[in-house]
Amino acid sequence: MSPASGWQLSKRITTWCLAIGTSSVALLAAVGIVLVHLETLRSLDALATEELEEMVAPFTSSAGTREDFTRCAVELQNSHPYNAMAWRVWNRSDGSIWGTFGAPELQAQLPPVPSGEPTTGHFPRWRTGALNAELEVGLLLGYGREVASEKRFVLVALIAVAFAAGISFVTGRILGHRIGGALETIAAEARLSAVGTAPLAVTGNLPDEMRAVIAALGDALASIRGESDKARLLAAGLAHELRSPLQNLLMQAEVALLRERSQQEYRTALAKQVLDLQELIRGVDNLVTLCASPEAKKARFGEAFDLTAEARLRLKGEALRASREGIELDLHLPPELLVRGDREGLMLALRNLVSNAVDWSTRGGRVEVRAAETGPTVRIQVDDQGPGVAEKNWESIFEPFQRGPARPNGSMGYGLGLALVRTVADQHHGTVRVARSDLGGARFVLELPARVDPDAPNTG
């Protein structure tokens, strides 16, 4: 989105508050003005009818002269001083004007004939009726307190609308500033959290909706940070951990070619290079598996397979290496052990545990691998007769690139094998731990559900 097409939430909130607050009060004011106006007209209509009727009775009981009509008109005017009155009387026989009486300012507006209409606005009320058998009378009633009260009401209503507009504007500005400020704070904290390692934490008196946004944003940043860490892990592994063994392999090849050697010397050099290449391949496999995308991992979780058959097949290479180094590798596996999960990840984790046990064993030592299903859980246990793991390192050894001292054969690992085992265990909602073995060395125990739902929450 270009800057020209953007908009500010604080201004939008102010505009909406002003529009809604003002329009709501204006609508109520308009309804009130209409009702008051209708009531004013009703009151004037009733008063005009009443005054016309009150003129007929006293005039008909008098001599019926113009002086008598004037006297009655003055009495009615005095009884209602706030409403001016003008009268016109016609002869019913020929329609001629018999007389005009009352307020001079209204007399000019009286019609010349009974059927006519006065030349006035909508407030003064016009009424006609029979005064007696010979005369027809018309009354033009001017407005007074009723209309003044209506005008005051209109003024108060307009003031209320203006006041509501001001209050709505101020409320919108304050609310927009508060919300906009809170969002700016969240954005600033999110930027700091994105470049740092601290989790997103915005304090203050925030509404639940904003707290939900903060929580979702924190989860997204944590996921992004995790993927970024994996990318850095892959880069660091390729740049620092894989360069050294590749240089060693190159140096061994160059040394072997410096002069003519015996067949046995060449075989010894090649055998050493094969071991180094196998170690390097395991390191690459571990890096690729550790840094695989969540979608790629989840796609493999629905596979059901026999762990016993896969273990016997995948551990042949480790068995040959153990035999070559004078180490006994015993597999205690049930005839069949069906599991559902990531086949490649689980097998790589098992190979890492067995390879680690073989690496730390000495000639004449023994490595035992046991697997069993206990209810909904599969337990894989690997024991060795090596030096074991100090209790203070029982957690740290599962971190990437955590390497201990040199192995009995003098080689150094990449610090990725056990990290991958922990990752696979977490992905399968399982656990992995290390303890002392009854054989005298280390015991690694991998426990995971026999049936894994990749969409279930991770409680491991």
The mean of the pLDDT values for the chain is 81
Residues 285 and 430 in one domain: no
- Return the closest-CA partner of residue 366 out of 313, 421, 441, 434: 441
Domain that holds residue 258: 207-290
Give the residue, 309 or 263, on which the prediction is more confident: 309
pLDDT at 416: 72
How many whole angstroms separate alpha carbon 276 and alpha carbon 249? 7
Beta carbons of 337 and 370 less than 8 angstroms apart:
no
How many whole angstroms separate alpha carbon 131 and alpha carbon 144? 25
Beta-bridged to residue 137, according to DSSP, are 89, 129
**Average pLDDT rounded to a whole number, residues 18-31:** 92
Q: Taking 80 as the threshold, does the pLDDT of residue 367 lie above it?
A: yes
pLDDT at 410: 47
- Give DSSP secondary structure letters for 360-427: T--TT-EEEEEEEEETTEEEEEEE--S----GGGTTGGGSTT---S--TTS----S-HHHHHHHHHHH
Q: Taking 60 as the threshold, does the pLDDT of residue 292 lie above it?
A: no
pLDDT at 35: 93
State both tokens at 297: 């991992």
Residues 256 and 311 in one domain: no
CATH number of domain containing 421? 3.30.565.10
- Picking from 25-29, 123-127, 288-292, 295-299, which range would have the lowest pLDDT averaged per residue? 295-299
How many whole angstroms separate alpha carbon 421 and alpha carbon 323? 24
**Is there a domain that residue 189 lies in?**
no
Encode pLDDT of 47-67 as tens digits. 889 999 999 989 988 888 999
Q: Taking 50 as the threshold, does the pLDDT of residue 454 lie above it?
A: no
Residues 313 and 443 in one domain: yes
How many whole angstroms separate alpha carbon 383 and alpha carbon 400? 22
**Is there a domain that residue 190 lies in?**
no
Q: What is the dihedral of CA 399, 405, 408, 409, to 10 degrees?
A: 90
**Average pLDDT rounded to a whole number, residues 366-384:** 92
Q: Taking 60 as the threshold, does the pLDDT of residue 10 lie above it?
A: yes
Q: Taking 50 as the threshold, does the pLDDT of residue 190 lie above it?
A: yes
Residues 246 and 297 in one domain: no
3-state percent breakdown (helix, strand, coil) of the chain, nearest 5? 55, 15, 30
CB atoms within 10 A of CB 42: 11
pLDDT at 187: 75
Q: Which residue has the tokens 């919108």?
A: 172
**Is there a domain that residue 202 lies in?**
no
- Phi, psi angle pair for 375, to nearest 5°: 70, -130
In the chain the first and final C-alpha atoms are separated, in Å, by 42
Beta-bridged to residue 101, according to DSSP, are 87
Highest-confidence range of 94-108, 185-199, 236-250, by mean pLDDT? 94-108
Beta carbons of 21 and 166 less than 8 angstroms apart:
no
pLDDT at 459: 45
**Is there a domain that residue 440 lies in?**
yes
Q: How confident is the model at residue 2 (pLDDT cuts 50, 70, 90)?
A: very low
Q: How confident is the model at residue 364 (pLDDT cuts 50, 70, 90)?
A: very high
Beta carbons of 129 and 87 less than 8 angstroms apart:
no
- Picking from 22-26, 261-265, 296-300, which range would have the lowest pLDDT averaged per residue? 296-300
pLDDT at 419: 85
State both tokens at 52: 């016309």
Which uninterrupted H or E stretch holds 332? Answer: strand 328-332
Residues 137 and 275 in one domain: no
pLDDT at 399: 84
Encode pLDDT of 66-87 as tens digits. 999 999 999 999 998 888 999 9
- Picking from 17-21, 123-127, 226-230, 295-299, which range would have the lowest pLDDT averaged per residue? 295-299
Encode pLDDT of 412-428 as tens digits. 455 678 888 998 898 88
**Average pLDDT rounded to a whole number, residues 28-33:** 93
- Picking from 247-261, 310-324, 422-436, which range would have the lowest pLDDT averaged per residue? 247-261
Residues 251 and 307 in one domain: no
**Is there a domain that residue 275 lies in?**
yes
Tell whether the torsion through CA atoms of 414, 418, 422 and 423 is positive or negative.
positive
**Is there a domain that residue 41 lies in?**
yes
Encode pLDDT of 313-331 as tens digits. 989 888 988 998 899 999 9
Residues 358 and 277 in one domain: no
19-26: Cβ within 8 A, 24+ apart: 19/168, 20/168, 21/164, 21/165, 21/167, 21/168, 21/171, 21/172, 22/161, 22/164, 22/165, 22/168, 24/164, 25/160, 25/161, 25/164, 25/165, 26/161, 26/164
Residues 143 and 25 in one domain: yes
Which uninterrupted H or E stretch holds 197? Answer: none
**Is there a domain that residue 155 lies in?**
no
Residues 273 and 237 in one domain: yes
Q: Taking 60 as the threshold, does the pLDDT of residue 453 lie above it?
A: no
Residues 286 and 424 in one domain: no
How many whole angstroms separate alpha carbon 361 and alpha carbon 439? 11
pLDDT at 1: 41
pLDDT at 286: 57
Beta carbons of 76 and 139 less than 8 angstroms apart:
no
Number of structural domains (the chain) is 3
- Strand, coil or helix: 138: strand
**Is there a domain that residue 399 lies in?**
yes
State both tokens at 338: 């069906």
- Picking from 11-20, 117-126, 286-295, which range would have the lowest pLDDT averaged per residue? 286-295
Pairing of strands 85-91, 97-102: antiparallel
Q: What are the helix (H) ranges across 80-144?
A: 104-107
Q: Taking 90 as the threshold, does the pLDDT of residue 231 lie above it?
A: no
Residues 458 and 398 in one domain: yes
- Return the closest-CA partner of residue 416 out of 352, 366, 322: 352
Q: Taking 60 as the threshold, does the pLDDT of residue 179 lie above it?
A: yes
Which uninterrupted H or E stretch holds 431? Answer: strand 431-436
pTM, two decimal places: 0.48
- Return the closest-CA partner of residue 36 out of 186, 114, 166, 149: 149
Q: Taking 90 as the threshold, does the pLDDT of residue 442 lie above it?
A: yes
pLDDT at 458: 47
Q: How confident is the model at residue 147 (pLDDT cuts 50, 70, 90)?
A: confident
Give the residue, 195 or 182, on which the prediction is more confident: 182
**Average pLDDT rounded to a whole number, residues 382-388:** 92
Q: Taking 60 as the threshold, does the pLDDT of residue 386 lie above it?
A: yes
